[in-house]
Structure formats: structure tokens, C-alpha cells
Chain A
Amino acid sequence: MTQDLAKSPVLILGGRSDIGLACARAFAAAGHPLQLAARNAATLEPAAQDLRLRGGGAVSLHEFDVLDIAGHAAFLDALPEPPGIVLCAVGAMGDQEASERDPQAAALVMRANFEGPALILGEIANRMEAAGRGVIVGISSVAGDRGRATNYVYGAGKAGFTAFLSGLRNRLARTGVQVVTVKPGFVATRMTEGMDTPAPLTAQPEEVARAILRAIRTGGTVVYVRPVWRLVMTAIRAIPEPLFKRMKL
């Protein structure tokens, strides 16, 4: 860890997410107290109990809706302790076809991936800046690296989130606050259940968690969980637009 946050509380936004829970387990094993924030937080009690048994430390549950922007500050004020590390795993894939037809559906995907996560992390960043320390980890996606016909509404939300995190990192570079952008590639979670993702490109949630803890430890900035994704996305970004627009990806 580049800062002395070894036993500092970790706040997980999107505490029910498979990736979020895998990270929670890794943080618990490393001895961190945990704050899980989610909608219907009370239903996470069995997960909280599991984390207590695994790590032996404190785990608290907090009601949180990322779209309730007016409530963000009050939500943070109500935490038992200001967290030293914040991980945002909130996200929603939505249904691309629905997003094309229905502006409400598209707006929800954009807000759940960009507006909500960016604004809560922005508020947290201000508080960490004042404290002079902290780590912010945002889970974005390779889908934001280039828009594709099959999921560009989700991708656009993630692109916005990636740009926001990049700017935040730039702004806070001299303050002692670390900002990490995670682009996991395919991960075997609830979100991708039933999709036939190629095995060599598909990570397990535990792998994502290991990569995130490593990035925090080593002062990392942009993390592709499986290194092959960096290549894949470099290649995809390099395809000239006249060609790209005709491809099926």
C-alpha cells in the first residue's frame, strides 16, 4: 500500500455485485473493516455475516441508491467512519435494444454507469482531498474504450465514467489521493450469466479482486485485469473508422 491504509475501512458501493463481493472478501481477509452499500441493504446480512467470519472484522450495511444524487452527501455523513478506500462496483448493462427504442431506459443505463457513480465518487474525492489521503477505485469497462453497435449505450456510460476517473486522477495527483480505473474485460458474474464469453478473455470475480488489491498496493492507475485485454483493446481502437463501422463486433 502506498499510503498507510492497511486497516482502514473500505466502502463498497454496489455491495451486492459479484465483483464487489469478491473484493469485499479480499479486503476482509486483509483485515479491513467493511461498509457495504446497496439498494435493499438489509438483504445483504448473510453476505455480511460471511465476511465477518472470513475476516473477523466489522461489517456494516448501508442503504444506497446511486441515482439518488440529492442523498449522496447525507449517505456519506451517516457512515460509521469515513472510509479510507472506496470501491464503486455499481453498473447496469441494460438491454441495448430497449435503450435504442426507449429514451427512459437509455437514460437509466447512462445514469447508473456514469452520472450516479461519477457524482458520488466526486463527492468522496472532495472529502478525501480535504483529508489528504484515500483511494478511489472505479469499475469501468473496456466497453467504454470504443462504442460498438451491440452495447454502445452502456459503453457510452462507461466511457464517460472512464474520462471522469481520468480527470479526477489528474486533479488529485498531488494530493495523496489515489484514483484507480478498472477495466475488467469479461467477468463471470450475474451480469454476464447466460452469455457465451470466450474463456481466455473471461476472468473470475476473485481475479478482479486480486488485481484491485494489487493496484492499491502498488499505486496503480488503469488496470486491465487480464493483460491480454490491453492488446485486444489497442487493436480495436486502432481499426480505422471506415472499416470499423462495417464490422460486427
Chain B
Amino acid sequence: MNLSGWGRFPQVDSRVLRPRTPEAVADALAGGRAIPRGNGRAYGDAAVSHGVTLDLRGLDRMLAFDPATGQLVAEAGVLLSDIIDAFLPRGWFPLVTPGTRFVTLGGMIAADVHGKNHHRAGSMAESVDWVEVMVAPGQVRRAARDENPELFEMTCGGMGLTGPILRAAIRLQRVDSGWIRQDSIAAPDLDAALAAFEARMAATYSVAWIDCLASGRSLGRSIVMTGEHARLAELDNRRRLRPFAIPAKRRLSVPFDLPGLALNRWTVGAFNAAYWRQGRRGAGPRLVDWQSYFYPLDAIDGWNRIYGRRGFAQWQVALPLDRAAVGLRALLAEIAAAGQGSFLAVLKRFGPGRGGLSFPVEGYTLALDFPATPAALALMDRLDALALAQGGRFYLAKDARMTAATFARAEPRLPGFQRFRSAAGLDLRFASAQSERLNL
């Protein structure tokens, strides 16, 4: 069947198997080169294969929870949304979460996802105690910092290319409530935005929406938002009584593909200008529920259809700290000049990175999405070159179109990853459309 990632681009003809047990996973692996798939929220072709795609959502049982340590053991297909539904009412929240909760545990580990707290908490791997990986049909290895450490390192951020993760143990954090104390400031240009991040390194969460169509003196203008889990004492009486209850959300949905015209430089430009004005006016502290704070897009089912039939592509780079300002300025100038902005442009300060192919590096990350049009694809090629010139690194979970040469230049760590795969024979067993394109 035709399969794609969240961006619906590219589409790949794949044989999809849905094993529900480790034995069935082993059987499926015996049928040729395969790639695991979680909930398909990676944008590009990381979780689709020209051979077999292993849909692991059927492995979705929670196995154990230790309230003394906050450790949850679960099968890899469990959704983050289910973890939150089960444990937030008992005062636990994931240590690391991406911007959607409709991801699986396995997908979060394989992409080594980062959240708004990366500058303090690090990436997903920091909250993983161990994983169990099926490295060959029927052969399951446990990997942790002190057990098969190299497999652990390569699996976290390894995009499924070390084999399907069957189960994992992760740690949750204690929270007092389902509310976040958010503070926001309007930064009129890039320097102000970066200064705001640097001044807020102590904040638990920080992230900025950046207006990627603003140019000239306004280049890089941003709304920088920080957040803290609200303590009981910080809630009013009504909320303190039921600290985990939040107002029910209306779920909206995009039931069909919007025509490609719906998003163009004028609609996006108007949206961005309005968002900026509203952000500036609404700056200051307020209390926000966890869903609106962490997962605003989850309220709209199928929002990936707003880009129309041909789908869209994300582009996300991480620039090392000392080159971030120069690099971001060059990227933003190019985007603004091309008039190909997106409204989901995000800027974020990263803390120190990890090994393997894990994406984050200490510095800044910029993420944008574009319709998969020829003009936008050409722009992304130019952005690749600008980012490479500043030591940029690219996020595989977002990529759908990079060239192998670009990735190899960005990743001095790639040969180590390839050696690990071939030494263990993993390259013969696991491949995605992305790994073939990028020679991972």
C-alpha cells in the first residue's frame, strides 16, 4: 500500500505488517529488510520502507509502574497520549515530550525527540533507563548505559535502523497539576530573541514562535515563551480542588485536502503579522492548561491536510551556539526573500547533545514547514547549503528530501553509525526509504 509520513510526502509503496507479539515481529523480520513504524508522526520517509514496514502500534501494553521512582515499563507501541491520560491524574508527566502527544514510545526513542525543556532536561534518551531491541529475528538485546552501551547509544536517535524496540523503561516526573505558568515576551528582532533565551536558561521550558517572513530591522522577531509546572499553591481555589482537570477541548478537524492556494505568501504573511501583534499585546504571565501549552496542534485532527494534496515538508536545523546568530540571520534572510514562510516556525535553545545520530547540539534549532512545491523544495536546498556553512545539523525525523551528500557533510558521526550497523549486520536487516536515500 501507499505509505508516507506526517507530511504526506513522499509516498512510498510498502508492504505493511502489523505484528502484535514479539514472535510475530520475529516472523515479520524473517521476510526481508524492514523498518519499524510507530504512529507515523515523523514528517518524511523515516518510517516507511520500500520493503516491509512494521507497524508496531499493536504492541501497546503498559507493563509496570513504580511510584517510588516514576519508572514506567511499556511496550514500544504505547502512545504518549495514553501515558499522559493514565498517569497525569496521578501526578506524573513525561520528562520529555515533543510537540504532539500522538507519538509512540518507540518513535520517541528512535528519533531521540526533544521538548521545550531540552536546554535543561536533555533529549528523550535522558529519560530512558533501558530498551529491548530485536536486532535480528528472535534475538532481543537489552541495552542501557551499563549494558550493551553502544547499542543503547545508537538506538536512541537511530531512527529504527538498529531494529525494532519492543519495550522500554522510561522515567516520568512528578507534577502538582495539569497547569503551566506561561510567561511570554515579544522580541522585536533576532538579537533580542536570542538574548531572551540566554537570560531564561533557568526556565523549565522555553520556546519561541518566530516570524520567518519579517525582514529588515524586524528580521527574526519572535514571541519567546517560557513555562513552569504550576504548583498547587499557585492555583486558585477552583483549580486547586481538581488540579488535573482541564476544560474539555473541542476537537476540530480538517476533513479534506485544502486547495494548494490556501497557504501562500499573503495568507501566511497576514497570519504571521497578526500573530505577532497579538503576541506582543498578550505578553506577560498567564496560566495555560497542559494540552494547550504542549500540544496546540493536537486539537485539530488531520491538520496536515491544510497543505493540500501534494503534502508538505519540514526543515529543521540545529546550529552550534557560537555560530547560531550568524547562521540564523542568513537563513531567515533567505526565507524572507523567498517569501516562502510558514506559520509553524519555531526557534529553540538546545542544551548539550548526545552521541549516536541524536539530533540536538548545544545551540539553537530552527524548524519550519513548507508545502512540497518545486519552489519550496529548491529553497530548502539553499537553506541546506547556508546551514552547512555554519556547522548545522539536520533532524532526520523531519527530513523528506535532503541529499546523501548534504547529510554526510553535516554529520561527522555518520561513519561511526554505518560501521556499527554493518559490524552487527543491521544494515542487511533494517532500511527505510530515508536510510536508502541518505545512505545511513
Contacts and interface: CB of A to CB of B under 8 A. Distances in A.
B62 interface: yes
B62 A54 contact: yes
Contact of B63 (A29, A49, A55): A49
A56 B92 CA distance: 13
Given A29-B85, A54-B82, A193-B18, A47 B61 contact: yes
A53 interface: yes
A47 to B, nearest CB: 7
Contacts of A50: 61-63
B62 A53 contact: yes
A198 interface: no
Interface in B81-120: 82, 85-86, 90
Interface in A41-74: 46-47, 49-50, 53-56
B18 A54 contact: no
Interface residues of B, number: 11
Output the residue of A47, A50, A193 with the most chain B CB within 10 A.
A50
Contacts of B86: 29, 53-56
A244 B72 CA distance: 55
B82 A56 contact: no
Contacts of B62: 49-50, 53-54
B232 to A, nearest CB: 21
Interface residues of A, number: 10
Given A29-B85, A193-B18, A56 B90 contact: yes
Interface string A187-224: 00000010000000000000000000000000000000
Contacts of B90: 56
Contacts of A193: 18
B19 to A, nearest CB: 11
Interface in B214-265: none
Interface string B61-77: 11111000000100000
Output the residue of B61, B82, B85 with the most chain A CB within 10 A.
B61
A53 B18 contact: no
Nearest to A53: B62
Nearest to A188: B18
A65 B98 CA distance: 45
A50 B74 CA distance: 9
B63 A46 contact: yes
A29 B83 CA distance: 11
Interface string B44-82: 000000000000000001111100000010000000001
A55 B87 CA distance: 9
A193 B18 CA distance: 9
B69 to A, nearest CB: 15
Output the residue of B72, B82, B90 with the most chain A CB within 10 A.
B82
A54 B85 CA distance: 8
A49 B60 CA distance: 12
A197 to B, nearest CB: 13
Nearest to B78: A50
B170 to A, nearest CB: 13
B85 A49 contact: no
A47 B18 CA distance: 18
A49 B61 CA distance: 8
B55 to A, nearest CB: 11
Nearest to B1: A196
A55 B86 CA distance: 6
A29 B85 CA distance: 8
A56 B91 CA distance: 13
A54 B64 CA distance: 10
A29 B87 CA distance: 10
A47 B60 CA distance: 10
A29 B64 CA distance: 17
13 contacts: A29-B85, A46-B63, A49-B63, A50-B61, A50-B63, A53-B63, A53-B64, A53-B72, A53-B86, A54-B85, A54-B86, A56-B86, A193-B18
Interface of A: 29, 46-47, 49-50, 53-56, 193
Given A49-B62, A54-B82, A54-B86, 6 more contacts: A29-B86, A49-B61, A53-B65, A53-B72, A54-B85, A55-B86
Interface of B: 18, 61-65, 72, 82, 85-86, 90
3 shortest interchain CB distances as A-B pairs: A50-B61, A53-B62, A54-B86
